[in-house]
A and B are shown apart, each in its own frame.
Chain A
């Protein structure tokens, strides 16, 4: 767990990707020459069509996969396994375990007993609004609630960097809006950094302070834009003119990226 005394200050460089590339054994270039600086406290979205390497980039940052070229450079205090949280597109819960035990898992794997972990688990369940469901099993929950469990599990070890791979893509829009808002509240309260992979312009605009647009074939960064709307952002932001303007700008950048990358459907 992060020690506040050694934790980096907001805005400090946390992670640098230097011309990172990934080529798979079948010759597919998933990612090419990716340069990116991630700062402490960023909410950074990787936005792009499928095949643009955004999920590959996330896996490389997580250490789940090894870059073919380039360097991933961690700055500041040394990162431990528990300093990085990962949230998948699916809730990816243990179906036989209760909500409580699912959230306990990352701590359990570090050798922390149920009793030692109890107060932290209860706090994080409280923060995602699932205190009343700690004894339920995943199949008794709705899709949105399962995703909340997944988020609680991602946050239980107090990560300094949270990697999210299209976490809300499978949810209905109303649930997604609510989870977007709750995620932002958690992010502001706990001050971790987020790298958020999405193919939704609107989601990236609502959530992030930085949007990195990617192009496909080969996967690479196309451009970057800042979202200057201050936090906290309320649901009313979604209907504001300013939101529309930023979304338009992001859509245009994505459109240009897709045109350059040969579009989404072509093969």
Chain B
């Protein structure tokens, strides 16, 4: 790309090629600038609507109010965020261990996979909100409840993606391992696990977002049943008190956390796949 631009000074280009370069440059800048611009405009419009319609603060706070609340309530909100984050990352870690572990077990025998995979699907398709009252009865410890809840939501994409990955190894490579007398363990460690890496990382990206959603939803449902101190309970509490500013501030924190988790996992995934997988390649052709 850089070479093309250097060449434009020396080489005479027809109008089609010039337009292509212009379009490429515009796309590179626009990709960042346009969404940012729309965001700023939306926030400005939000502020104007509040002022022009004289909407009271407890119904729709102005963006400035939300930011002030975020700063003023920082100790409270960030403390709550930490609690939610702890549940999110613990459940994600357990989802990775459980999902990959089960997938490896499934890959060892078609019979095991046939027998148990349907149960994983049942667990996945049943809405977590509907299962929670049961968990509430059987589990005493608050943290365990939330963890279990978030784990159920997060582990399925990892399980299903890793299972898919472990099973979609190049047939010829499997033959090659067989020809060389590879043991089951060697085939798993040197072939199946690395080959399933892109699938696993794809599942992890989805699971990261779901773990956060699971943690927040669990706390929501638990909030009415017991005491907790995560971001969801702050939101419920603020709702009861008609403290809309704090509600928005908490919402903002959750959104940013979700985006951050996604970006971190995308970065990790790109780092791992950088050298070999097509999806991580920069399209430089």
Contacts and interface: CB of A to CB of B under 8 A. Distances in A.
A95 B172 CA distance: 13
Nearest to B277: A95
Given A137-B275, A137-B276, A139-B276, A94 B179 contact: no
B179 A96 contact: no
Given A94-B194, A138-B276, A139-B276, A109 B177 contact: yes
A81 interface: yes
A81 B197 contact: no
Interface in B148-187: 170, 172-173, 175-182, 186
Contacts of A60: none
Which 9 residue pairs across A and B have the least CB separation, nearest first?
A109-B180, A92-B172, A95-B276, A81-B181, A96-B276, A88-B172, A109-B182, A106-B180, A96-B194
Q: Interface of chain B, helix or strand or loop or mixed?
A: helix
B49 interface: no
Contacts of B173: 92, 94
13 contacts: A62-B179, A82-B180, A84-B179, A86-B176, A95-B276, A95-B277, A105-B180, A109-B181, A109-B182, A109-B186, A109-B190, A110-B180, A157-B180
B191 interface: yes
Contacts of A244: none
Contacts of A25: none
Nearest to B182: A109
A124 to B, nearest CB: 15
Nearest to B281: A139
A96 B197 contact: yes
**Interface range on chain B (Cβ under 8 Å from partner):** 20 to 34
B175 A86 contact: yes
B181 A94 contact: no
Contacts of A90: 172
Nearest to A108: B190
Contact of A86 (B179, B182, B194): B179
Nearest to A157: B180
A63 B181 CA distance: 11
Nearest to A138: B276
Interface string A79-103: 0011010101010101111000000
A81 B276 contact: no
Contacts of B277: 95-96
A5 interface: no
A105 B176 CA distance: 10
Interface in A215-252: none
Given A88-B172, A90-B172, 20 more contacts: A64-B175, A64-B178, A81-B179, A82-B180, A86-B176, A88-B175, A92-B170, A92-B176, A94-B190, A94-B194, A95-B277, A96-B197, A96-B275, A96-B276, A96-B277, A109-B180, A109-B182, A110-B180, A137-B275, A138-B276
Interface in B179-227: 179-182, 186, 190-191, 194, 197
Given A86-B176, A92-B172, A92-B173, A110 B181 contact: yes
Interface string A42-63: 0000000000000000000011
Contacts of A97: 194
Contacts of B177: 109
Nearest to A62: B179
A105 B277 CA distance: 20
- The interface centre, meaning the residue of B173, B176, B178 with most chain A CB atoms within 10 A of its CB, is B176
A157 B190 CA distance: 18
Contacts of A157: 180
B162 to A, nearest CB: 16
A78 to B, nearest CB: 15
- The interface centre, meaning the residue of B175, B180, B194, B197 with most chain A CB atoms within 10 A of its CB, is B180
A21 B133 CA distance: 63
B180 A81 contact: yes
- The interface centre, meaning the residue of A84, A88, A96, A157 with most chain B CB atoms within 10 A of its CB, is A96
Nearest to B183: A109
